[in-house]
Amino acid sequence: MDDAIDDIFEVDPGWAAIQRSIEHDAEYVGVLPPCVLSENYECDGCIAENVEGCPVGSDGGYRAYLANLRDSLIEHQIEHQKERAARIRLLQGILRRHKLPLHWEYIALLAMKEAPGLFESKESVRGFLFFNRDVFTVIHEGVFILAKYQL
Ligand SMILES: [Zn+2]
């Protein structure tokens, strides 16, 4: 019986937590353990450095999996940046053409007509205007101009 229990814990129980942390960092932070990045799988500074000779460094399949998680995140970030740039170009264009401060509802109406699909809803246009203060400035309640009067 004791042997069976020992078998269950053959894998270090601490490893599961470390693994979750490593996968979280790869998937959401974009950070990989040093042994994934180094040519010879050196674990200096690796979170799993002291776990039975680091299971990460010794498992090629797992290293590839982690690299894949990280690459997916970067791909997603690039897509997100492209989308943000397209949204800014569109809204800047609207404000530039009008050369006037505009209410967000009117900006949203034009934006959704000009580029259907770039924003999910009128409210999402408002949120985008509010959260990109480096580009858009509120001058009255709900009324926006380009920051630094870039008209
Ligand atoms: Zn390692």
DSSP string, 66-123: HHHHHHHHHHHHHHHHHHHHHHHHHHHHHHHHHTS-EEHHHHHHHHHHHSTTSSSSHH
Distance 52 CA to ligand 1 centre (A): 10
Measure the CA angle with vertex 68, ends 64 and 73; round to 5°.
Answer: 155
Distance 42 CA to ligand 1 centre (A): 7
Distance 1 CA to ligand 1 centre (A): 33
Could you tell me if residue 108 is inside a domain? yes
Q: Does pTM surpass 0.85?
A: no
User: Which residue shows structure tokens 């530039």?
Assistant: 96
Q: One digit per residue, pLDDT tens: the chain, 151 residues?
A: 444 444 444 556 688 889 999 999 999 999 999 999 888 888 888 888 878 778 888 889 999 999 999 999 999 999 999 999 999 999 999 999 999 999 999 999 999 999 999 999 999 999 999 999 999 999 999 999 999 765 4
For the chain, the domain total comes to 2
Which residues constitute the domain of residue 15? 2-58
Distance 96 CA to ligand 1 centre (A): 53
Could you tell me if residue 69 is inside a domain? no
Q: What is the DSSP letter of 38?
A: S
Same domain, 28 and 87: no
Q: With contact defined as beta carbons under 8 Å apart, do 134 and 124 qualify?
A: no
Distance 35 CA to ligand 1 centre (A): 4
- Provide φ and ψ at 103, rounded to 5°: -75, 145
Could you tell me if residue 25 is inside a domain? yes
Q: What is the DSSP letter of 11?
A: S
According to DSSP, the residues that pair with 140 across neighbouring strands are 143
Could you tell me if residue 52 is inside a domain? yes
Name residues with Cβ closer than 5 Å to ligand 1, which is an ion.
33, 35, 43, 46, 48, 54, 56-57
Could you tell me if residue 74 is inside a domain? no
